[in-house]
Chains A and B, each alone.
Chain A
């Protein structure tokens, strides 16, 4: 955790001081451009890397009743048998975090010899809040890239600021994402299980996002950014005609740097779960494996101990027990005798 914190802090400091020492173009233009290239290239590479490996077996986790007999109601979304069902399941998973919604906490009480499972939706709630706030914030930022600003963006801003508190209006997403980030961070510190499994690569993205959100909030409410100038600058980058950076808040460059680093590590860290969730074979396949044969591209030829070999092994006792035989004892003996008394070599298993 300390390593991650220090790393994120250094990144922030470097950008903040650097942008005051005349390196605004480095942190405000070169790095973000590089980050976008790395992010897009990296994600394409990552998805291709996954896609290169086939899905040899259909292994969906069934989360409810299968479709078998007409009078038994199947769980169409948790155990989807059809493509449409799978799309439904994936939508629930991606948009509403269906699996996380099942979450429980286990408590073992040795005194009373009892194990209890409590519904535990906090992680689900805050994870959902975090991701949706991030999305809303992301969408709001299109204001800096688009001229004229589309009316739907204004709606998003209107609803995000519906509380009508303060000047500039307080965005709900700002408040909630801070709460969610704190929750996601604190549970890693407070919960002993989480503390034990958490690594630097779990804390680092959290700290980066905290830096990103923190600088953003600062620029909106406190150390205010000249938004008009920032937009001119950003449009300049988008159109590859750099504009003046004079007078832009150093926090702006720090903000951009946090974002850039996040984008750069995205394809090479756990953040790829954004793509991974779509490719998980326990979720994205129909549970119809007895109805439709799933083909494995590397399926090997079937090699097994055949019935003929088995009968060769056990012909005598089988005959004695009156079990039907393909080759009767007499036939087998005649065959043996033909081979000048040599016993028939039992074929090997392979």
Chain B
């Protein structure tokens, strides 16, 4: 990995626009600005078309012989399948409203990272091959012939877009770059061009049930290990059910939550909450992945991986599914799951909270709700005994992850929880939160080490907003509800706003949660000393509920 520039250098060193027009500039592939190609055996294993050896920084990408035909037919097929693609390609007036809304554009100042130009990369080919005007007038009307450099450009810029849809919010026609990027990535996969950071998790998820490739027994071990930690902190032993039939709820969360710091604390938080309220639930090793890297490959792959959720709910006889904190998982669950793999199995019902009786009518079709919806309802009904003072050393802000914000509208639920469990909550500036939130810079499968500088550039707007509240309000904590965020924001924060800790929402919930029969807490979930440890009330023991 290349040495990283200092934050101030990176910000000041954004290059000016090239003198030449965009059709006459080519991307320069060099170490650090591209993701590694998917391994051939993985592509073969997932039955992807044209698996082959290639390197982005080499001249010859060894495309299949009839690559032009493949792209032409591929685009034709997708135009016939997606009205969105036709409308988005035809309607853009290049008003530029999207231009400075993209975190990658703000971070790189590369004009082709303006969503409008990112789309023009495909649009120009569409004009040439599929419109009369483009065929007749060519370059004058922005039509260009497909050549190998265009393919390279597509690869370069389709992997500098995290499909966060911030641009689509500002576009007067609702043109959604995520749709364009997703389709360009699909077309590239048709030529055997994919990235390993996406394909390997996809392959793992297909076989082992989760992105990180944890086999069932290993997953069980890890969960037991986390339960050991919970016992150390609370004195309570939890034995979460795994693959058990006949429970009311199937809980599915991204596997990142059992894998790495700080996601594991969020996972511990879920288990503590479920134990405390006596939720009748099970985890599954087969459907042990909430996230869906398939959605960064193709619609078909997303569907294939997503299918396990309903299949497992059916096999286990679960009545509804509770989903953990994750970003793109909720894009898929909220907007695609019912379409892909619905209707939900017959044994499932509209989710009802067994604790409060609240019926989640808005999930009547998918039978799946977000844990923030579930917990917010619990807290509203006063079902949790909370001591937010345990989080008093934390001054937190909240990062809306792109997909729950702009593909779901999950904005107030997590905030209401955060206010209940933490006494110090400060918002970042209004143009960087809620539906206008900025991506972490590493979404949609770009959370790989080899493009670290690019990720930090993409994370610049988020990092800068964080830095702002750190300086202004002494914020020392960033709460988020996305496993990818938990994996990448520590790096972004460490670079742009050093000193800010990143955590999931349910880590703070569990810190504040007073559990029946627990020992006085002296540690938080990270086993760090609480500045104000619980007073030992063993003298007055016996009374539990407030």
Q: Please report A residues at the B interface, Cβ cutoff 8 Å.
A: 3, 46, 49-69, 71-75, 78-79, 81, 93, 97, 99-100, 102-106, 108, 110-111, 113-115, 117, 123, 127, 187, 191-194, 196-202, 268-270, 272-273, 276-277, 279-283, 287-296, 298-300, 302-307, 310-311, 313-314, 317-318, 320-324, 326, 349-350
CB neighbours (8 Å) of A51 from chain B are 83
Shortest Cβ distance from residue B544 to the other chain A in the assembled complex, whole angstroms: 27
Question: Which chain B residue has the least Cβ–Cβ distance from A274?
Answer: B91
Whether the pair A281, B84 counts as a contact (CB closer than 8 A) is yes
Shortest Cβ distance from residue B8 to the other chain A in the assembled complex, whole angstroms: 6
A-B CB contact pairs (8 Å), 24 listed: A49-B86, A53-B85, A68-B362, A72-B376, A72-B412, A100-B97, A113-B8, A115-B464, A115-B465, A197-B111, A201-B141, A201-B142, A272-B91, A273-B173, A279-B87, A281-B176, A282-B175, A288-B362, A290-B364, A291-B365, A300-B303, A302-B303, A317-B217, A323-B220
CB neighbours (8 Å) of B215 from chain A are 314, 317
Out of B92, B176, B468, which one reaches A61, CB within 8 Å?
B176
What is the bound-complex CA distance between A317 and B413, given in angstroms? 40
Question: Which chain B residue has the least Cβ–Cβ distance from A317?
Answer: B217
Question: Which chain A residue has the least Cβ–Cβ distance from B83?
Answer: A53
Whether the pair A53, B79 counts as a contact (CB closer than 8 A) is yes
Further 18 A-B residue pairs, CB within 8 A, beyond A57-B335, A276-B173, A289-B366: A3-B140, A50-B86, A50-B87, A55-B84, A62-B405, A69-B377, A72-B413, A72-B416, A113-B8, A114-B464, A123-B95, A194-B99, A197-B94, A197-B117, A277-B91, A281-B176, A311-B286, A317-B215
Whether the pair B338, A289 counts as a contact (CB closer than 8 A) is yes
Whether the pair B311, A53 counts as a contact (CB closer than 8 A) is no
Shortest Cβ distance from residue B379 to the other chain A in the assembled complex, whole angstroms: 11
Whether the pair A63, B172 counts as a contact (CB closer than 8 A) is no
Whether the pair B111, A65 counts as a contact (CB closer than 8 A) is no
CB neighbours (8 Å) of B482 from chain A are none
CB neighbours (8 Å) of A73 from chain B are 412
CB neighbours (8 Å) of B94 from chain A are 194, 197-199, 202, 270
Whether the pair A108, B14 counts as a contact (CB closer than 8 A) is yes
B315 at the interface (CB under 8 A from A): yes
Whether the pair A79, B409 counts as a contact (CB closer than 8 A) is yes
B26 at the interface (CB under 8 A from A): no
Shortest Cβ distance from residue B290 to the other chain A in the assembled complex, whole angstroms: 15
Query: Considering the complex of A and B, which 4 residue pairs feature the smallest CB-CB distances, nearest first?
Result: A276-B91, A66-B409, A282-B174, A62-B409
Shortest Cβ distance from residue B360 to the other chain A in the assembled complex, whole angstroms: 7
Whether the pair A102, B12 counts as a contact (CB closer than 8 A) is no
What is the bound-complex CA distance between A295 and B111, given in angstroms? 37
B170 at the interface (CB under 8 A from A): yes
Whether the pair A61, B168 counts as a contact (CB closer than 8 A) is yes
Shortest Cβ distance from residue A81 to the other chain B in the assembled complex, whole angstroms: 7
Whether the pair A59, B172 counts as a contact (CB closer than 8 A) is no
Stretch at the interface among B63-71, B184-192, B340-348, B525-533: B340-348
Whether the pair A97, B172 counts as a contact (CB closer than 8 A) is yes
Whether A282 touches B22, Cβ cut-off 8 Å, given contacts A106-B100, A201-B141, A349-B47, is no
Out of B85, B95, B334, B338, which one reaches A127, CB within 8 Å?
B95
B450 at the interface (CB under 8 A from A): no
B327 at the interface (CB under 8 A from A): no
Say what secondary structure dominates the interface of chain A.
loop
B96 at the interface (CB under 8 A from A): yes
CB neighbours (8 Å) of B492 from chain A are none
Stretch at the interface among B51-59, B429-437, B501-509: B429-437
A-facing residues in B129-182 (Cβ within 8 Å): 131-133, 140-142, 165, 168-176, 179
Stretch at the interface among B237-245, B260-268, B383-391: B237-245
Out of B80, B111, B365, which one reaches A196, CB within 8 Å?
B111
**Which of A56, A270, A282, A322 has most B Cβ within 10 Å?**
A282
Whether A268 touches B99, Cβ cut-off 8 Å, given contacts A50-B86, A296-B339, is no
Whether the pair A63, B373 counts as a contact (CB closer than 8 A) is no
B61 at the interface (CB under 8 A from A): no
B363 at the interface (CB under 8 A from A): yes
Out of A66, A113, A276, A303, which one reaches B410, CB within 8 Å?
A66
What is the bound-complex CA distance between A208 and B66, given in angstroms? 42
Whether the pair B176, A282 counts as a contact (CB closer than 8 A) is yes
B27 at the interface (CB under 8 A from A): no
Whether the pair A304, B305 counts as a contact (CB closer than 8 A) is yes
Whether the pair A56, B82 counts as a contact (CB closer than 8 A) is yes
Whether the pair A59, B409 counts as a contact (CB closer than 8 A) is no
Whether the pair A307, B91 counts as a contact (CB closer than 8 A) is no
Whether the pair B120, A197 counts as a contact (CB closer than 8 A) is yes
Whether the pair A115, B362 counts as a contact (CB closer than 8 A) is no
Whether the pair B95, A324 counts as a contact (CB closer than 8 A) is no
CB neighbours (8 Å) of A268 from chain B are 131-133
What is the bound-complex CA distance between A74 and B373, given in angstroms? 13
Shortest Cβ distance from residue B299 to the other chain A in the assembled complex, whole angstroms: 8
What is the bound-complex CA distance between A100 and B46, given in angstroms? 42
Shortest Cβ distance from residue A332 to the other chain B in the assembled complex, whole angstroms: 15
B461 at the interface (CB under 8 A from A): yes
Whether the pair A305, B207 counts as a contact (CB closer than 8 A) is yes
**Which of B46, B131, B217, B410 has most A Cβ within 10 Å?**
B217
Whether A273 touches B91, Cβ cut-off 8 Å, given contacts A64-B435, A293-B338, is yes
What is the bound-complex CA distance between A197 and B117, given in angstroms? 7
What is the bound-complex CA distance between A214 and B377, given in angstroms? 62
Question: Which chain A residue has the least Cβ–Cβ distance from B344?
Answer: A293
Whether A202 touches B93, Cβ cut-off 8 Å, given contacts A193-B99, A302-B307, is yes
Whether A99 touches B172, Cβ cut-off 8 Å, given contacts A67-B362, A306-B311, is yes
Whether the pair B87, A287 counts as a contact (CB closer than 8 A) is no
